[in-house]
Structure 1
Amino acid sequence: MGFFDAMGVLFTLTAVFAYLNYQYLKLPTPIGVMLAGLLFSLALVLIGGPAEGWARSLLEAVPLERVLMQGMLAFLLFAGALHVNLDDLKKRWVSILTLATLGVLVSTFVVGTGVYYLAGWLGIELTYIYALLFGALISPTDPIAVLGLLKKAGVPKDLETLISGESLFNDGVGVVVFAVILSLAGAHGGHAEASVAGVTLFFLREAGGGLVLGLVLGLMAFYMLRRTDDYSVEVLITLALVTGGYALASQLGTSGPLAMVAAGLLIGNHGRTLAMSERTREHLDTFWEMTDEILNALLFVLIGLEILLIRYTPGYLELAALAVPLVLGARFVSVGLPIGALRSVRDFAEYTVRLMTWGGLRGGISVALALSLPPGPEREVILAMTYGVVVFSVLVQGLTIGKVAKVATSR
């Protein structure tokens, strides 16, 4: 099956699942289409034969890790950052930066260490470096999953800013941490420099370079937007900023996700107020909101279908089930420690840690990173755990975050 044929099938499935969800399930669109994709995949597995083979050829033609990491992610992150208020972020920038860096590192080592011992207890062979890889890919909260649900969950504005800001930045940080550990694992057959200086330089180039590149490209786009008064041209400029900027970040070896977050924040705040007419703002918002909604639905259908790629080996399901509370516990620790330390300089509501723990959803980025691992038994173990955590996160946490927020904030 060719790429365009596969995309045609995928868009058709997404539209059908979205319609069925709208008519019958009445769930938030990302959750509804993912659940439909899961049920569709399970039906294909039960039918077997040509039906399952057809679905596998579809996933091979549209591999999630490439579609998301090399294209879709740029649009989703830019669209998400475009509607985040920079003034709100400034008020919480210390908390957001701490959670997006220290929080990810703490969670990576807590999850990695826990999974290493759990796997050994179950008789599953998993080296510590690969256990850390799982910790790195599952620790960042997914902005794609988080931002849409928070708007409907009734979360207090201050906490919504903290969670959304953290999810936008820890995504890029998590990808960088994953890349560092992967290089140390020698997964690509190379001999990475394992010194502290080498790792630090790599991190600064990826994360720092991505932020700087995003700001520079955002400023260039801002200059062009300010000198243009035609909404079709201005939408095209932002489209070029996303596609060209993400490709340039990849060529320069810097973080494309962080570059898109920085560019989106600049255009969504200064660009919106200083470089656009009311008519342009209306068309720009409509374009990017539609892009975000469509790609979001498409992504979650892909996640639902990816269950077909998991091999059901004895012990893997048990480890995946145990990974769920482990990841939640690590999230509680990685949020609780920074928030506890920052309480001396900032006020936080009593329910902050609990809501941030339950509201820290995992999504497509974790699955894509797991799928990007080289073939081998470690990959199959990590993929099973990742899928278990993501499904629980989206279906259980995503469906209950509104109720949890209402209960927590009413006390």
Structure 2
Amino acid sequence: MDLHISRRTEVLLVVFILFSLLYGSRGEIPPKPTGGVTIVPPVKPDGPQAFPDAEKANLPVFTMDYPRIQIPFEITLWVLLASFAKIGFHVYHKITIWVPESCLLISIGLIVGGIMHSVHEEPPAVLSSNVFFLYMLPPIVLDSGYFMPTRPFFENIGTVLWFAVVGTLWNSIGIGMSLFAICQIEAFEVQDINLQENLLFASIISAVDPVAVLSVFEDVSVNEQLYIVVFGECLFNDAVTVVLYNMFNFVAEMPVVEPVDVFLGVARFFVVGLGGMGFGILFGFVAAFTTRFTSRVREIEPLFIFMYSYLAYLVAELFAISSIMAIVTCALTMKYYVEENVSQRSCTTIRHVVKMLGSISETLIFFFLGVVTITTEHEWNWGYILFTLLFAFIWRGLGVLVLTQIINPFRTIPFHLKDQFGLAYGGLRGAISFALVFTLPDNIGRKQLFVTATIAIILFTVFLQGISIRPLIEYINVRRTNRNLDTINVEVHCRLMEHTIAGIEDLCGQTFSFLLSVLSAQQKAFNDHILLIYSHECTHYPLHVKLLCCLKFKERESAVKLEERCVLVDLLSDSLFVVLFDNAIVHCGTLWECLQPIRLWSRVQLPPSAASDIRIFSF
């Protein structure tokens, strides 16, 4: 038998043997007890009797052990501080109309950073490791992907990918080459920055994060095409930026770049992106399939959604592919199926928790941006920083102008000059750029200059462009959209036009919408048998009833009231819902019932365990 003893055990055994020999070598035999004589035990050399004058240590009543809880305690305080800041912004909501929340959070971070710097306190080490990419970034990306307007996104998927992929490459290469040309001028004293490092830095500042712009676009109700292109470009631009950053970071460490390295870099670019999408779709389908069997354990349904999304992100990181693309596609894939399978309470919980985690993570990032701006040591080179701002603005504008002229002939609704201005001016920098620049390797000699330039461009775009975007959009009168069109008439006619366009395109030979309708039919057949648990009941009711159910379902989160052992289905003139119990339709109101001016109640007796099996049936 092979016995392995640790070093600590060996040391303890040796000490024990030495002490045994030491006490055994004295040869003293304790005397036998005699009658009437009390034997006093020997005094231990380290016992309390050996020091009669020493002060006795009492049991403490109140103690403090701050090092033990320092990390979670400080994290909790940071989250609370950021949350109180958001509460204050919304209490005085007139401030956030003209000044974005990101600007206010950075301002508070600057104040806190100034206080920490004055007392010589170290900044929070949240970005010194993988904390950002493993814990803070996933909730933000999951929030964006889960609440992405699915239908407008897929209608503009070509334009979104065109701006996200080609536009990011355009900005990275253009800014990198321009900065390398500036580095050749001796007056700026940056001749030591080579082309690879300039391209690496350009890929960092090409990440677009228009949080403030999207908020303004939503408030002023800009047209849906402009909103979804900016939204989608922001989302997929982050994934492309991280891929470019990793590729240029590897190239920057190579002494000589050969043509085969360029070819391998391009191949890896597509492998990383498509691999991330594959993992996301896979985990999205697995999540949908799993939720088919959770009808008896509703309390764990939200857990599956978060775990599968995070698992897709971690597995993508494990194989060094695009984790952002993985979690985005996972959220887009599972959203439809999961909301059809889980209960309404679980659906509401998922939505609120996803939004809460994303909002808190984004708030902390802007908060830390302000803190780090003050507490970090900066390397100032005004020429390099000012030209970075200039080139970022120029290449963004030129990129939007050129790429729009190329894509407009292929679009049904082209982008006009006002829309192009919104696209170009909405290119704010934010969280991804801030995180990537701190992960630069230490062997880059001008790392501190890159950090300073990145913080400068983030502050410039967030404050100047973020504050001025609203009055400019209102002044140039960008095309708006009417968001109050959620009616049964609009929905039915939209469905009618879709089928009509599909038939016309099939006759004309333009088969995009026709193939889309065929794929949709194949997808529905796959959903009915594999992914959805309740889909086979959907065909028993007319389309107008299903659509009205869906619209009213959005307006009111629930119409089921549990009262003892009964379910009350409220069929008012402004609501229509279907109650599903044990995979069977219990009651479904009709369109005529919904139009009645009186209140109709349907009382259904259910067993005591019915609470976990009740589900609002949405279409």
- Give the TM-score taking structure 1 as reference length: 0.89
CA, structure 1 residues 78+10, in 2 after alignment: closer, same or farther (shift >3 Å)? same
* Equivalent residues in 2 for 1:344-359, closer than 5 Å: 344-346=409-411, 347-359=414-426
Deviation at 1:312?
Answer: 3.4
Deviation at 1:232?
Answer: 3.4
Partner AA of 1:178 in structure 2: Y
On the 8 A contact 1:119/1:126 being kept in 2, the answer is yes
Partner AA of 1:355 in structure 2: G
- Alignment-derived partner of residue 70 in structure 1: 134
On the 8 A contact 1:362/1:389 being kept in 2, the answer is yes
Partner AA of 2:273 in structure 1: A
Deviation at 1:36?
Answer: 1.0
Which residue, 394, 406, 419 being the options, matches 1:329? 394
Q: Which moved more, 1:335-344 or 1:11-20?
A: 11-20
- Alignment-derived partner of residue 387 in structure 1: 455
On the 8 A contact 1:217/1:241 being kept in 2, the answer is yes
**Distance between the aligned counterparts of 1:94 and 1:388, measured in 2?**
33
CA, structure 1 residues 234+190, in 2 after alignment: closer, same or farther (shift >3 Å)? farther
- Alignment-derived partner of residue 293 in structure 1: 359
Q: Which moved more, 1:376-385 or 1:26-35?
A: 26-35
Partner AA of 1:311 in structure 2: E
Deviation at 1:388?
Answer: 0.7
What are the superposed Cα offsets for residues 101-141 of structure 1, whole Å, 9 maximum, x if unpaired? 11111100111122223344422232111111111111121
Q: Given the alignment of the two structures, is residue 39 of structure 1 paired with residue 111 of structure 2, yes or no?
A: yes
- Alignment-derived partner of residue 109 in structure 1: 173
Q: Matched residue of 1:344: which SS?
A: helix
Which residue, 331, 343, 351 being the options, matches 1:264? 331
CA, structure 1 residues 314+204, in 2 after alignment: closer, same or farther (shift >3 Å)? closer
**Distance between the aligned counterparts of 2:298 and 2:227, measured in 1?**
30
**Distance between the aligned counterparts of 2:183 and 2:77, measured in 1?**
38
Structure 1 stretches of 4+ moved >6 Å: 189-193
Partner AA of 2:79 in structure 1: F
Deviation at 1:161?
Answer: 0.4
CA, structure 1 residues 131+173, in 2 after alignment: closer, same or farther (shift >3 Å)? same
Deviation at 1:314?
Answer: 4.2
- Alignment-derived partner of residue 404 in structure 2: 339
**Distance between the aligned counterparts of 1:190 and 1:19, measured in 2?**
53
On the 8 A contact 1:106/1:334 being kept in 2, the answer is yes
- Any gaps of 5 or more consecutive residues in structure 1? none
CA, structure 1 residues 155+39, in 2 after alignment: closer, same or farther (shift >3 Å)? farther
What are the superposed Cα offsets for residues 40-69 of structure 1, whole Å, 9 maximum, x if unpaired? 324544x3xxx2x32x2x422x22662221
- Alignment-derived partner of residue 131 in structure 1: 198
Which residue, 374, 377, 387 being the options, matches 1:308? 374
* Equivalent residues in 2 for 1:38-57, closer than 5 Å: 38-45=110-117, 47=118, 51=119, 53-54=120-121, 56=122
On the 8 A contact 1:76/1:144 being kept in 2, the answer is no
On the 8 A contact 1:361/1:397 being kept in 2, the answer is yes
Deviation at 1:249?
Answer: 1.1
**Distance between the aligned counterparts of 2:106 and 2:273, measured in 1?**
31
**Distance between the aligned counterparts of 2:133 and 2:212, measured in 1?**
15
On the 8 A contact 2:146/2:335 being kept in 1, the answer is yes
Q: Which moved more, 1:94-103 or 1:401-410?
A: 401-410
Partner AA of 2:446 in structure 1: E
Partner AA of 1:285 in structure 2: R
- Alignment-derived partner of residue 175 in structure 1: 242
Deviation at 1:257?
Answer: 0.5
**Distance between the aligned counterparts of 1:278 and 1:349, measured in 2?**
42
* Equivalent residues in 2 for 1:183-194, closer than 5 Å: 183-186=250-253
On the 8 A contact 2:101/2:212 being kept in 1, the answer is no
Deviation at 1:374?
Answer: 1.2
- Give the CA RMSD over aligned residues: 2.6
Q: Matched residue of 1:195: which SS?
A: helix
On the 8 A contact 1:130/1:185 being kept in 2, the answer is yes
CA, structure 1 residues 397+143, in 2 after alignment: closer, same or farther (shift >3 Å)? closer
**Distance between the aligned counterparts of 1:350 and 1:302, measured in 2?**
37
**Distance between the aligned counterparts of 1:368 and 1:311, measured in 2?**
16
- Alignment-derived partner of residue 6 in structure 1: 74
Deviation at 1:149?
Answer: 5.2
Q: Matched residue of 1:373: which SS?
A: coil
**Distance between the aligned counterparts of 1:65 and 1:146, measured in 2?**
30
Q: Given the alignment of the two structures, is residue 405 of structure 1 paired with residue 456 of structure 2, yes or no?
A: no
* Bigger proportion of residues as strand: 2
Q: Given the alignment of the two structures, is residue 18 of structure 1 paired with residue 83 of structure 2, yes or no?
A: no
**Distance between the aligned counterparts of 1:120 and 1:99, measured in 2?**
31
CA, structure 1 residues 4+83, in 2 after alignment: closer, same or farther (shift >3 Å)? same
Identify which of structures 1 and 2 has the higher relative contact order when contacts are C-alpha pairs closer than 8 Å and 6+ apart. 1
CA, structure 1 residues 322+261, in 2 after alignment: closer, same or farther (shift >3 Å)? same
Partner AA of 1:264 in structure 2: A
Which residue, 163, 184, 189 being the options, matches 1:99? 163
On the 8 A contact 1:77/1:143 being kept in 2, the answer is no
Rg (Cα) greater in structure: 2
Q: Which moved more, 1:207-216 or 1:345-354?
A: 345-354
On the 8 A contact 2:283/2:309 being kept in 1, the answer is no
- Give the TM-score taking structure 2 as reference length: 0.60
On the 8 A contact 2:243/2:272 being kept in 1, the answer is yes
**Distance between the aligned counterparts of 1:65 and 1:403, measured in 2?**
40
On the 8 A contact 1:171/1:257 being kept in 2, the answer is yes
Which residue, 374, 379, 383 being the options, matches 2:441? 374
**Distance between the aligned counterparts of 2:213 and 2:145, measured in 1?**
12
CA, structure 1 residues 145+365, in 2 after alignment: closer, same or farther (shift >3 Å)? farther
**Distance between the aligned counterparts of 1:193 and 1:129, measured in 2?**
15
- Alignment-derived partner of residue 143 in structure 2: 79
- Alignment-derived partner of residue 579 in structure 2: none
**Distance between the aligned counterparts of 2:89 and 2:129, measured in 1?**
26
**Distance between the aligned counterparts of 2:274 and 2:80, measured in 1?**
40
Partner AA of 1:319 in structure 2: Y
Q: Which moved more, 1:15-24 or 1:257-266?
A: 15-24
Q: Which moved more, 1:193-202 or 1:76-85?
A: 193-202
CA, structure 1 residues 314+83, in 2 after alignment: closer, same or farther (shift >3 Å)? closer
**Distance between the aligned counterparts of 2:139 and 2:256, measured in 1?**
32
Partner AA of 1:35 in structure 2: S
Q: Which moved more, 1:351-360 or 1:303-312?
A: 303-312
**Distance between the aligned counterparts of 1:399 and 1:269, measured in 2?**
36
**Distance between the aligned counterparts of 1:233 and 1:279, measured in 2?**
11
**Distance between the aligned counterparts of 2:475 and 2:130, measured in 1?**
40
On the 8 A contact 1:222/1:267 being kept in 2, the answer is yes
- Alignment-derived partner of residue 320 in structure 1: 385
Deviation at 1:358?
Answer: 1.1
CA, structure 1 residues 324+153, in 2 after alignment: closer, same or farther (shift >3 Å)? farther
**Distance between the aligned counterparts of 2:273 and 2:133, measured in 1?**
16
On the 8 A contact 1:321/1:388 being kept in 2, the answer is no
What are the superposed Cα offsets for residues 261-282 of structure 1, whole Å, 9 maximum, x if unpaired? 101111234433x334443332
Deviation at 1:320?
Answer: 2.2
**Distance between the aligned counterparts of 2:196 and 2:286, measured in 1?**
41
CA, structure 1 residues 79+117, in 2 after alignment: closer, same or farther (shift >3 Å)? same
Q: Matched residue of 1:377: which SS?
A: coil
On the 8 A contact 2:208/2:237 being kept in 1, the answer is yes
